[in-house]
Amino acid sequence: MKLKAIEQGDIGLSASFENGAESLYPYIWLRDNDPSGFHPDTKERTFDLTSVALDIRPHNVRFTADSLSLEWPGSDSTCTFDADWLFRHRLGTRRFDPANVMQKTWSADSLGELPRFHAKDCRDDPRQLAAMLHAFKQIGIVVIDRLADDPHSGERFGDLIGFKRETNYGVMFEVKNKPDPINLAYTALSLPLHTDLANQELIPGAQFLHCIVNGADGGDSVFADGFQVCRDLADEEPDVFDVLKKFSVPWRFYDESCDLIARWPVIRQKDDGQFDALTFNAHLADIPDLEPDDMVTFYAAYQNLMRRIRSDRYRFEYRLEPGEMVIMANRRVLHGRTGFDPNSGPRHLRGYYIDWNEIDSRLRVLYREYPETAPHLPA
């Protein structure tokens, strides 16, 4: 974007761009973000903010359509900002981010089908991988199919995205009916809709469940979009919604080797009104410890949410086939399963977590090489 005009004001420089956009850049901000204040190799900031006065002003300002050059007191070199860079960093506007994908909430009817991608396509074509990650960010759930007939193929697929998150269940966890289970998922019981690991300081961002075998009677998967539930609750019973946002309650998992506790409200919302997280796991709810009056209020809201979550309005059933892997936004999409008969056949899923940081990083890196992978964003 070309620069059209630069004006010096009291606190900073006002820039106008050829498309009519404008921004004011405070002098201290320009000094701190001088491109020469970053290490050329590591790209990390090396400039020391305490080395200059807060009211610093450039003593020489020049610009062309393509760049802005400043000279600062105490520095011999001229600092040059690229016009495109200034445009992208207009203050007060949200920066272009290829990982910034609008969420589309869904209910059982509106979803239709789960978004589906072939493992090989994602592996062979980075654009397909990006398309898959977009769909995942938008809908909060995707199915990867045609994974190789190998118990490690789902695990390897995760390497296309980023580092796996280790928890007390290990990096990889085996979801099957086991003797001495440490988690209800490792039984044949039905699992009501829940999000995983509410008891963690950072609740894992995405859960991956690779189906190795699903040969037992029962064991169908169930999913629901927690953000749709939150949206409907906010519209229909705002008081209940507010209670679930207001009170933090403890969530806990403990066994012989660990005792993991975290406090979270059930609903978290961002400043811009978008939903940030739904944390709901009846099995991990620790003994709530609110004041008695608050406790009664909380229970009413919590039970209300629990009933809503179970409603057919949200419940999407799907039977995972061997060679498929479901990926869920764990702080948004609830998952569960129907009970199964372990004597009727084997059932084995292999799971792991990857955090959003990794997923977003992959999208940004893919975008560097394949800008067309972010068609939803303005260039």
Q: Please check whether residue 336 is in contact with residue 212, taking contact to mean a CB–CB distance below 8 angstroms.
A: no
3 state SS of 62: strand
State whether the Cα torsion 366-372-376-379 is positive or negative.
positive
Nearer to Zn ion, 155 or 196 (CB): 196
Cα 27 from Cα 87, distance rounded (Å): 16
Least Å distance, CB 185 to Zn ion, is 5
Task: Tell me which residues touch Zn ion (CB under 5 A).
Answer: 196
Least Å distance, CB 209 to ligand OGA, is 6
Residue of minimal Cβ distance to Zn ion: 196
221 binds, among ligand OGA, Zn ion, none (CB under 5 to 8 A by kind): ligand OGA
DSSP letter, residue 280: -
34 binds, among ligand OGA, Zn ion, none (CB under 5 to 8 A by kind): none
176 binds, among Zn ion, ligand OGA, none (CB under 5 to 8 A by kind): none
175 binds, among Zn ion, ligand OGA, none (CB under 5 to 8 A by kind): ligand OGA
The closest alpha carbon to 223, from 133, 138, 139, 345, belongs to: 139
- Which distant-in-sequence residues (6+ apart) come within 8 Å of 263 by Cβ? 248, 249, 250, 251
Nearer to ligand OGA, 86 or 185 (CB): 185
114 binds, among Zn ion, ligand OGA, none (CB under 5 to 8 A by kind): none
Nearer to Zn ion, 133 or 284 (CB): 284
Q: Where are the beta strands (DSSP E) in 84-240?
A: 116-118, 141-145, 173-175, 191-194, 206-214, 217-218, 221-225
337 binds, among ligand OGA, Zn ion, none (CB under 5 to 8 A by kind): ligand OGA
142 binds, among Zn ion, ligand OGA, none (CB under 5 to 8 A by kind): none
Nearer to ligand OGA, 30 or 349 (CB): 349
Cα 86 from Cα 325, distance rounded (Å): 43
Nearer to ligand OGA, 12 or 351 (CB): 351
Least Å distance, CB 221 to ligand OGA, is 5
Nearer to Zn ion, 168 or 297 (CB): 168
Nearer to ligand OGA, 329 or 374 (CB): 329
Least Å distance, CB 192 to ligand OGA, is 10
Nearer to ligand OGA, 90 or 252 (CB): 252
Cα 338 from Cα 221, distance rounded (Å): 7
Q: Return the exposure string of 6-28: e unless at least 16 CB atoms fall within 10 Å of the residue's CB, then b.
A: eeeeeebbebebeeeeebebebb
Cα 161 from Cα 361, distance rounded (Å): 9
The closest alpha carbon to 113, from 143, 138, 134, 136, belongs to: 143
Least Å distance, CB 137 to Zn ion, is 20
Task: Tell me which residues touch ligand OGA (CB under 6 A).
Answer: 175, 185, 191, 196, 221, 335, 337, 349, 351
Least Å distance, CB 374 to ligand OGA, is 31
The closest alpha carbon to 276, from 291, 266, 287, 286, belongs to: 266
360 binds, among Zn ion, ligand OGA, none (CB under 5 to 8 A by kind): none
Least Å distance, CB 213 to Zn ion, is 18
Cα 313 from Cα 23, distance rounded (Å): 46
Cα 325 from Cα 5, distance rounded (Å): 54
Nearer to ligand OGA, 165 or 337 (CB): 337
The closest alpha carbon to 60, from 39, 42, 78, belongs to: 78
Least Å distance, CB 182 to Zn ion, is 13
Least Å distance, CB 351 to ligand OGA, is 5
- Which distant-in-sequence residues (6+ apart) come within 8 Å of 138 by Cβ? 101, 102, 103, 104
